């Protein structure tokens, strides 16, 4: 979360996208979620959220996209309702929310979860940090598996559980990420259901994430258990991965349940300038549509 403007009862916030640099699915839980082991990194692609406290009770949500519901089914609304309910302020205050969507939806980039986590943090700021981080995490946990990450100030984490047991790790600050979303959405539920047909309970064997050396996993070893499910249905994602590697990415991977694919370019490994990255992105836009982004890892959100 980055704060752009704060005036008393008003906040303007940036809600960042994320990628999963690693994602292992370990077991199905009785509550319907899955036990995960995942490395998550926030990126400089943001939705924009404006929060205004009001003496008129209730939640009023406006969205920049007509295909996004502005009602209690929206995760942003649910986050605001959860905060006001737990705090008890809902009987005295309401909140007006304006959501400007820039992160592609149903794309594996955590946009909806980021919006929800950012609303929780923003409302807590407006009420002068009423709740501790652990209480915010409890609220976030009930909203979805990725929401806890965005309810923290961590830029990058190694997470287990449903993504709610987190250890902060160094942000990849000296890296450029090229995100390619091919323009169609993928149902997270569908991907997990297909994966569940073949999965067996297992232990995480990802190297480099022992307690003593968290954060040093070589990028060449990043992996995503869900990738094989989504790529089987959408083989063009494999083509995108190859193009990113051919362009000089040290690694390319699908994020989350997809379909966004990202390439990682550490500073100093290529001779690319900012203009070169933008040129490469424009070339990919001609093939896959407008949702191709050149971003950096977030540092100090």
- pLDDT given for residue 28 in this prediction: 81
The CATH architecture to which 2-168 belongs is: 2-Layer Sandwich (3.30)
In the DSSP assignment, the letter for residue 234 is -
55-87, pLDDT tens digit by residue?
999 999 999 999 999 999 999 999 999 999 999
Asked if residue 210 has pLDDT above 50, the reply is no
Buried b (16+ CB within 10 A) or exposed e, 220-237: eebebbbbebbbeebeeb
What are the structural domain ranges in the chain? Answer: 2-168, 175-296
**18 tagged catalytic:** yes
- pLDDT given for residue 220 in this prediction: 83
- pLDDT given for residue 41 in this prediction: 97
Answer whether 0.85 is exceeded by the pTM: yes
Domain 175-296 has CATH 3.30.70.890: yes
30-40, pLDDT tens digit by residue?
777 788 999 99
**28 tagged catalytic:** no
With 0-12 / 13-18 / 19 or more C-beta atoms within 10 angstroms meaning exposed / middle / buried, residue 143 is buried
Q: What percent of the chain has pLDDT over 70?
A: 90
Asked if residue 231 has pLDDT above 50, the reply is yes
- List CB contacts of 45: < 8 A, sequence separation 6 or more: 16, 17, 102, 103, 109, 179, 293, 295
214-227, pLDDT tens digit by residue?
445 689 889 999 99
Asked if residue 6 has pLDDT above 70, the reply is no
Catalytic residue among 47, 96, 146, 155: 146
Q: Please, what is the average pLDDT of the chain?
A: 90
- The Cα-based distances of 213 to 106, 157, 216 in angstroms read 33, 13, 6
């Amino acid at each position: 979360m980055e704060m752009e403007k704060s005036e008393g009862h008003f906040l303007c916030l940036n809600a960042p996208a994320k990628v999963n640099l690693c994602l292992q699915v370990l077991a199905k839980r009785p509550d319907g979620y899955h036990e995960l082991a995942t490395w998550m990194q926030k990126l400089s692609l943001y939705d924009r959220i404006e929060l205004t406290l009001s003496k008129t009770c209730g939640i009023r949500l406006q969205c920049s996209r007509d295909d996004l519901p502005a009602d209690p089914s929206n995760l942003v609304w649910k986050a605001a309702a959860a905060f006001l309910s737990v705090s008890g302020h809902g009987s005295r205050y309401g909140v007006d929310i304006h959501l400007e969507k820039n992160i592609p939806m149903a794309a594996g980039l955590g946009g909806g979860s980021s919006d929800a986590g950012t609303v929780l943090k923003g409302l807590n700021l407006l009420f002068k940090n009423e709740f501790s981080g652990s209480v915010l995490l409890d609220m976030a946990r009930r909203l979805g598996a990725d929401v806890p990450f965005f309810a923290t100030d961590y830029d990058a984490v190694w997470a287990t559980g449903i993504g709610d047991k987190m250890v902060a790790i160094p942000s990849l600050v000296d890296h450029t990420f090229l995100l390619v979303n091919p323009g169609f959405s993928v149902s997270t539920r569908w991907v997990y259901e297909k994966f569940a047909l073949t999965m067996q309970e297992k232990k995480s064997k990802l190297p480099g994430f022992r307690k003593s050396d968290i954060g040093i996993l070589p990028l060449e070893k990043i992996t995503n258990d869900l990738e094989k499910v989504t790529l089987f249905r959408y083989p063009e994602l494999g083509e995108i991965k190859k193009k990113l590697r051919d362009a000089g990415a040290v690694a390319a991977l699908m994020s989350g349940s997809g379909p966004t694919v990202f390439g990682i370019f550490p500073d100093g490994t290529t001779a690319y300038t900012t203009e070169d990255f933008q040129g490469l992105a424009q070339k990919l836009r001609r093939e896959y549509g407008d949702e191709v982004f050149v971003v950096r890892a977030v540092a100090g959100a």
